[in-house]
Amino acid sequence: MTPGARVAATIELLTEIAVTPRPADAVASAYFRARRFIGAKDRGAVAEAVYAVLRRHARLGWWLTRGGFTGPLETPAAETNSAQIPPGETTSGALADARARVIANAILAEGRQAASVERLFDGSRFNPLPFSAAENGLARALDHHTLDHPEMPEAVRSECPEWAEPGLRRALVGRFAPELLALTAPAPLDLRVNPLRSNREAVLAGLAAADIAARPCRFSPLGVRVEGRPAIAGLELFRSGAIEIQDEGSQLVALLADAKPGQQVVDFCAGAGGKALAMAAAMNNRGRIIACDVLGNRLKRAAERLRRGGLHNVETRALSSARDPWVKRHKGMFDRVLVDAPCTGTGTWRRNPDSRWRPLGPGLATLITLQAEILDSAARLVRPEGRLIYATCSLLADENEDQIAAFLASHPDFAPLPLADLWPAVFGVPSPLDGPWLRLTPARHDTDGFFAAVLVRKAPAPTPDSAPATAADPTPLEDV
């Protein structure tokens, strides 16, 4: 593809993302599947350009507003007739916005001059149509400026949406700006070694043989961090089940569940099964894991990953809701119950930059209620002295510490297991993290934002009839 054709594809994909109610990564995958003629190098370049614009959404928008471009810019009419994007008022506005943001990004973030950007919009075959009058004015107004500006509000500079700002400021006291800025950077690529198939040293050697630079992760003993974006799915290491793609933070959540061989375990919100796979491997295929979810299609993806990893102690079960009758029938039967709760995903914004600005699921208030309901229901499955693990990929205290505090207040039969006690038991070394819970952030730990709390169900208090006599409590003589 020519540079101009890449720009045209970037605009087209940004428009499709804007008008399609699906996550950006899913839209991008479908876009490239429908265009097999686009080579791997060009796909990578277009995807990188699209995500760069998405990561700079607030700052680019601030510049458009500052320049007086508050509404949809005039769009060359012929460009709305893409075979992939139906014409219409909404699409036309999305296309105009995409063109404006690509122009602004090229000038402000990539340091190009307005004239050089305009030359890419020459209307030749595969290239974008020429600038409209409004776009020409925009390019000239932005020429010789850079993306950041001293008058830009901190929330804009940090790419923080208005709905999340109060909660993130409360949760990230003194670290709001650095943490939010870390969420604007691309996420690293982490792999988890499957100990049933290989070990970390062998995986590192295999990656090196494939000319892929990698190193051990900072915290996870099974983690490997890869440089760049190599095609992992094409490696024999992946096809054989020796490795899985999983962020280091997610690996730590699964490891801290401390599932042991022979135990009975439930992954209550299993999704595609990443944490279930990790726990099954930790159990050495002994015992049983039941991976549950209300979305049955996601569990089908988990089954495929389990087969590849050689894991056969995991069952999948679709639930009708958090209060599915299955839960009541299995009350108090499990040693470990992991609740990886649905959440706002604020900790994953560096992977899903579009989700800050167009959340496709329930809002925060609805999620808080849902999390409490799921946690309350799943707790019924935990046996006495068993553990309940609550986790989110959110940075908001509303979804994390506040949820745990409310749960403990209404469930006096559960007690916290502090991280300072749990970490040495799992990893054999003192915890490198502060606080009673696992709380990971991108700036401090270079992982996705994660929270996890481990709670233990107390053993029932012995009844007077069952209490053994002791020297301090002798049997009265008159009863002999």
Strand partners, 416: 455
Q: Identify whether 269 is a catalytic site residue.
A: no
- Which residues lie below 8 Å from residue 395, measured CB to CB, with a gap of 6+? 168, 171, 172, 179, 346, 347, 441, 449, 451
On whether both 141 and 265 belong to a single domain, the answer is no
Tell me, what CATH number does 358's domain have? 3.40.50.150
Task: Specify burial of residue 37 (Cβ count, 10 A radius: 0-12, 13-18, 19+).
Answer: exposed
Task: Write out the residue range of the structural domain in which residue 129 sits.
Answer: 3-152
Annotated catalytic residue: which of 269, 292, 343, 393? 393
Q: What is the 3-state secondary structure (H, E, C) of 285-321?
A: CCCEEEEEECCHHHHHHHHHHHHHCCCCCEEEEECCC
* Cβ atoms of 394 and 346 closer than 8 Å: yes
**Position of tokens 């340091």?**
111
Strand partners, 150: none
In a domain? residue 161: no
On whether both 251 and 145 belong to a single domain, the answer is no
DSSP 430-479: --SS-SSSEEE-HHHHSS--EEEEEEEEPPPPPPTTTPPPBTTBPPPGGG
Tally the domains of the chain. Answer: 2
* Cβ atoms of 442 and 179 closer than 8 Å: yes
Which of the 8 DSSP states describes residue 193? E
In a domain? residue 234: no
Query: Cα separation of 257 and 243, whole Å?
Result: 20
In a domain? residue 359: yes
The whole model's pTM is what?
0.88
Scanning 172-242, the segments in alpha helix (DSSP H) are 176-182, 200-209, 236-239
Query: Cα separation of 41 and 459, whole Å?
Result: 59
Question: Radius of gyration of the chain from Cα atoms?
Answer: 26
| 401-to-171, 407, 416 alpha-carbon distances in Å | 9, 10, 12
Query: Cα separation of 337 and 309, whole Å?
Result: 22
In a domain? residue 181: no
On whether both 125 and 266 belong to a single domain, the answer is no
* Cβ atoms of 118 and 137 closer than 8 Å: no
In a domain? residue 115: yes
On whether both 312 and 418 belong to a single domain, the answer is yes
Regions of the chain where pLDDT drops below 70: 69-91, 463-480
On whether both 140 and 251 belong to a single domain, the answer is no
Please say which residue of 152, 182, 213 terminates a domain. 152
Which of the 8 DSSP states describes residue 155? H
Residue 456 dihedral angles phi and psi, to the nearest 5°: -115, 135
On whether both 297 and 423 belong to a single domain, the answer is yes
On whether both 270 and 413 belong to a single domain, the answer is yes
In a domain? residue 92: yes
Which of the 8 DSSP states describes residue 124? -
On whether both 12 and 138 belong to a single domain, the answer is yes
How far from the centroid of its chain's Cα atoms is residue 280's Cα? 21
What is the model's pLDDT at position 76?
A: 39
Query: Cα separation of 416 and 437, whole Å?
Result: 9
On whether both 251 and 383 belong to a single domain, the answer is yes
Which of the 8 DSSP states describes residue 239? H
Query: Cα separation of 16 and 54, whole Å?
Result: 13
The two structure tokens encoding residue 138: 């925009």
Please say which residue of 88, 123, 152 terminates a domain. 152
Query: Cα separation of 17 and 28, whole Å?
Result: 8
In a domain? residue 451: yes
Strand partners, 455: 388, 416
Report the candidate in 188, 189, 206 with the shortest Cα–Cα distance to residue 197: 206
What is the model's pLDDT at position 85?
A: 38
Task: Specify burial of residue 25 (Cβ count, 10 A radius: 0-12, 13-18, 19+).
Answer: middle
Buried residues in 152-172 as b, exposed as e (16+ CB within 10 A): beebbbbbbbeebeebbbebb
**Position of tokens 């389990």?**
306
Query: Cα separation of 136 and 146, whole Å?
Result: 18
**Position of tokens 């270079």?**
446
The two structure tokens encoding residue 2: 């020519």
The two structure tokens encoding residue 214: 């990698």
On whether both 10 and 131 belong to a single domain, the answer is yes
Which of the 8 DSSP states describes residue 337? E
On whether both 258 and 130 belong to a single domain, the answer is no
What is the model's pLDDT at position 478?
A: 31
Please say which residue of 152, 184, 204 terminates a domain. 152
In a domain? residue 210: no
